[in-house]
Structure 1
Amino acid sequence: MLAALLGHLIGFANYAAILPALRAATGFTEAEAGIAGGAFFLAYAIGSPIFAGLTDTRDARRLYMLGAAFGIAGGLLFPLLSASFPALVAGRVLTGIGMAGTYMPGLRILMAVLPPERQQQAASEYVSTLTLGLSASFAVSGLLEMLIGWQAAFTGAACTAAAAVVLVRATMPAPRIRPSEGSLGARLWKVLRLPRMGLFLIAVGGNSWEGMAFRTWWIALLTFTALAPGNEAYVSWNFALLTTFVGPLAMPLSTWVARRAEAGRRHRVIALASGSSAILGLILALTMEGPFLFVFILSAVYVCAIFSDAGSLTPAILVRVPVAERGAALALQSTAGNLAAFLATIVAGLVLNAGGGVSEPGAWRLAMLSILAGSAVTSLLMLILDRDERRRTPR
C-alpha cells in the first residue's frame, strides 16, 4: 500500500518541481501560478470529505479506483491535450480529486487488513510516507524534465498512478465495511463536536499551510538564490533533482517524532516540532540571499522540520474518535489540511506578485512570513492542548 501511495504522489508535487520551466515556457504570472497550485488543494479539500467519509459505508477499494481514474485524467489533460491556463487549472483540479480519492481510502484499506494494535503505527507510517513521496515526485519530475521536457512530468505522473492501481488491485483485498449510524453529514458533525476537535483541525491546517505552500514555491526560491550575486555558478543546476534527498531524511524524522508523541506528552512533542519549523523558516527568510549551498542546506533542514510532526497529527485525532467514525474524522482532517494548503499557496503567490515578483528579496521575505505562520499557529494550539491535558491528569 505504501508503494502504491508513492505512485500516486508523483503527481502531487510535479507542478512545483517544474514550475520555473513551465512559467518560462507559458508566461504565466506569479498570481496565475499560485491559482493553479491552489486549485489542486481546493479540489483535494472538496473531494476529501466525500471520499474519506464514504469509506465508512462503501467499499474503500472501489472508491480508490474511482479516485485514481480522476488522477490519471488530470495528468493527461495538461499539457498533452492543451497547454492553456484553463487546461492547467482543470488538470490540477482533476489531480486533486484523484489524490482525495486515493489517499484516505488507501489508508482505510491498509488499516482494515491490520490488527488493532498495529493500526496507529501504520497510520503514522502511511502519513510519514507523504514526505518520501514528495521527494519522489520532485525526483521523477526533475529527471523527466531534464531528459524529455517539463511536459513529461504530467504524463509521467499519470503512468505511475496507473501502475499504482494495478498494484492495489492485485495485492489488497476489499476491506470489510463496518455499519455506521446516520448520514455522512451527521457523522461529520458528530466528530466535529468532540472536545477540542476544532483546535486539532486548525493545527492540521497550520501544518499543511506551511508545508504545501513552501513545497510549491521552494524551487522558485532556490532559483532566486542562485541568481543572487556570487551564486551564478549554481544557476544551471537541476533544483528539482537536488531536493529529492530531503524525503528520505524527513520520513524517519517524522516517524521518530510520531513514536515520541505516542510515548507520552503527545501535544508537547508536536508543539516543539512545529515551533522549530517556524524558527527555521524565519532564519531562512532573513538569509535567503546568502551563499547558495548554505541557503539550500538550511531550506532542506526547514522542510524536514515542517514535516516532522506530519506523522503525529493523524494518530492524535484518530485516538479520540470511535472506529465507526474514523472515515468522517479523516475527511475533516483532510479537508482542513487541504483548504489551508489551497489558501496558503495562493496567498504566497499573491504576496510575491504584490511585492514586485520573484526577483525581489522583499517579496520573498513577506511570502516566507506568510508561509511560516502556519507552523506558529500549530505550535501555539498544541501548547494549549498540552496545558489542558496536564490539568485533567491527576497528580
Structure 2
Amino acid sequence: MSEPPSQGAKAVFCLCAAEVLTMVGVFAFPTLLPDFVAAWGLSNTDAGWISGILFAGYTVAVPVLTTMTDRVDAKKVYLFGALVAGVSCLAYAVWAEGFWSALTLRFIAGVGLAGTYMPGLKALVDRTRGPSQARWISFYTASFSLGTSGSFLIIGAIAEIWGWKIAFLLAGLAALAAFVLVLTLLERANPVPPAQPVNPFDFGPVFRNRAAMGYVLGYAAHVWELFGARSWMVAFLAWVLAAQPGAGGPSPATAATIGSLLAMASSLIGADLAIRFDRRRVCAAAMLSSAALAAVIGFTGGLPYGIVVALILLYNVLIQIDSAALTTGAVMAAEPDRRGATIAIHSLLGFGAGFVGPLAFGMVLDMAGGGNSSLAWGLAFASMAVVVGLGPLALRLR
C-alpha cells in the first residue's frame, strides 16, 4: 500500500523546508569562527569545543527524543525541537560573551537539532510508504546540506553587514518559522503499534541487528569527517587567503556555501547510485575517495587560493556521496517496530562522532604547531582521513 501522492509530497516539502529553516543556526559558529577566535581570544582547542559541543548536546538528547517517536507522533517531538533551536539562537544573540556562555548555548542548540533532524525523518517515514519512500528519505537527508549551505551563506552575509548578534537573531527567527510551518501544514500521523509489546528504550535488538549496525557505524565514521571538515573549512580557507593578499576567488564563507550546495547534489546522486547498485559498495567507495583527498588537502595551503578553493569544493562532493545512502540503509534495515530506536542509535553514534571530530581537529591543529602552520593543517585534515578510512570495515557487517 502506498500513500496518496499529494499527501506524501506535501509531507516531504513541509519537512524539507522546515529542516532548512532550523539549520540556519547550526553552522553559525563555524561560519564566524575566525571572528570569535579573535574577539574572545580563543585557542584552536577552545574553538573546537564550541564547534563540537552542539553535537554533544545532540548526542545526549537524541536517544530519548527520537526513540519517543515509536510511541508518539514525531510531529510533537519536532515542534519541541524547533522551539528549543529558536530560543537557543535568540539567547546566543543576547547573552553569549565568551567561551563558557557560548559553550552552554551551543549545547542547548544541539538539543534543538536532536528534536528536529531525525524526528523529522521519522515523521516522513510515518507519512510515506511504497517504492517512493527510499527516494523521499534521500531528499530529506540531502536537505541537510541545503540547510548547511543556507547557514554558511545567511550567517556570513548578515554578520558582515550587521554583525554576529543580528545573524544569530535571524537564525532564531528562522527556527521559530519552522515551528509554525510544521504546526500548520504537517498532517497528524499515528505510529503503528508493534505486534508484540516492546520496551522502546531497549536498544539491545538494535545493536544485534548487524545489517543496520553496519550502516550506523559507517555513518559515525562519515559524520566525524563531515562535521570536522565543515567546522574548520572556513578557518582553513581564511588562513590560506590571509597569506595571499589580493588573491581572487570566493570568500571562505561563500566557498563553504557553494560546497554545501554541491554536497546536496552529491548526496542525491549517491542515494540514487545506492538504489541502482550495491549500497555498501557505493558507500565504501565514497569513503575511500574522501579519505584519500583528506590525507593531502591540508598540505595544499601554499597553492594559489583559487586552486585550494577548488579542492575544498571537490572534497565537499566526495564527503557527501554516502550520506543519504547510509541513513537510508539504516532505516530500511531496521525492524519496523524499532525504526525510531534504530534512528536514535544511528544519530547517537553519528553525532557523537560529529562532536569529537571538530574537537579532535582543533587539538591536532594546536599540538602540531597552530593555525599558522602548514604542517598542522595537513595533519589535522589527515587525522580525519584515518577515521573515515575505517568506515568500509564497518560496512562489512551483514
What TM-score do you get using the length of structure 2 for normalisation? 0.92
- Given that 1:68 and 1:102 are in contact with CA atoms closer than 8 Å, whether structure 2 keeps it comes out as yes
Partner of 1:249: 262
CA distance in 2, matches of 1:76, 1:26: 20
Which range moved further: 216-225 or 232-241?
Answer: 232-241
Structure-2 change in CA distance of 1:15 and 1:94 (3 Å): same
1:109-258 counterparts in 2 under 5 A?
109-180=123-194, 181-186=197-202, 188-228=203-243, 231-234=244-247, 238-258=251-271
Partner of 1:375: 388
Partner of 1:332: 345
Of 253, 256, 266 in structure 1, the residue corresponding to residue 279 of structure 2 is 266
2:218 partner amino acid:
A
Structure-2 change in CA distance of 1:116 and 1:71 (3 Å): same
CA distance in 1, matches of 2:304, 2:34: 21
Partner of 1:22: 36
Q: Is 1:86 aligned to residue 100 of structure 2?
A: yes
Secondary structure at 2:286 match in 1: helix
1:27-47 superposed Cα distances (whole Å, 9 cap, x missing partner):
111111111111101111111
CA distance in 1, matches of 2:251, 2:304: 17
CA distance in 1, matches of 2:114, 2:247: 37
CA distance in 2, matches of 1:246, 1:290: 19
Structure-2 change in CA distance of 1:297 and 1:86 (3 Å): same
2:198 partner amino acid:
G
In structure 1, runs of 5+ residues without a counterpart are 389-395
- Given that 1:132 and 1:248 are in contact with CA atoms closer than 8 Å, whether structure 2 keeps it comes out as yes
Of 328, 331, 355 in structure 2, the residue corresponding to residue 318 of structure 1 is 331
CA distance in 2, matches of 1:79, 1:329: 35
CA distance in 1, matches of 2:370, 2:261: 32
Note the C-alpha offset of 1:322.
2.1
Structure-2 change in CA distance of 1:96 and 1:234 (3 Å): farther
Secondary structure at 1:185 match in 2: coil
1:133-190 superposed Cα distances (whole Å, 9 cap, x missing partner):
111110001111111112223222111101111111111012212214322222x221
1:38-60 superposed Cα distances (whole Å, 9 cap, x missing partner):
11011111111111110000121
Identity %: 29
Note the C-alpha offset of 1:117.
2.3
CA distance in 1, matches of 2:376, 2:128: 48
CA distance in 2, matches of 1:29, 1:234: 27
Structure-2 change in CA distance of 1:4 and 1:287 (3 Å): same
1:55-66 counterparts in 2 under 5 A?
55-66=69-80
The count of residues paired between Structure 1 and Structure 2 equals: 382
CA distance in 1, matches of 2:91, 2:81: 16
Note the C-alpha offset of 1:195.
2.3
Secondary structure at 2:115 match in 1: helix
- Given that 2:224 and 2:384 are in contact with CA atoms closer than 8 Å, whether structure 1 keeps it comes out as yes
Note the C-alpha offset of 1:17.
0.5
Q: Is 1:309 aligned to residue 325 of structure 2?
A: no
Secondary structure at 1:136 match in 2: helix
- Given that 2:291 and 2:389 are in contact with CA atoms closer than 8 Å, whether structure 1 keeps it comes out as yes
1:367 partner amino acid:
A
1:196-217 superposed Cα distances (whole Å, 9 cap, x missing partner):
4443322111000000011000
- Given that 1:34 and 1:347 are in contact with CA atoms closer than 8 Å, whether structure 2 keeps it comes out as yes
CA distance in 1, matches of 2:247, 2:39: 21
CA distance in 2, matches of 1:56, 1:49: 12
CA distance in 2, matches of 1:113, 1:203: 27
Partner of 1:54: 68
Partner of 2:55: 41
2:355 partner amino acid:
F
Partner of 1:392: none
Partner of 2:3: none
In structure 2, runs of 5+ residues without a counterpart are 1-14
Note the C-alpha offset of 1:298.
0.2
CA distance in 2, matches of 1:368, 1:35: 17
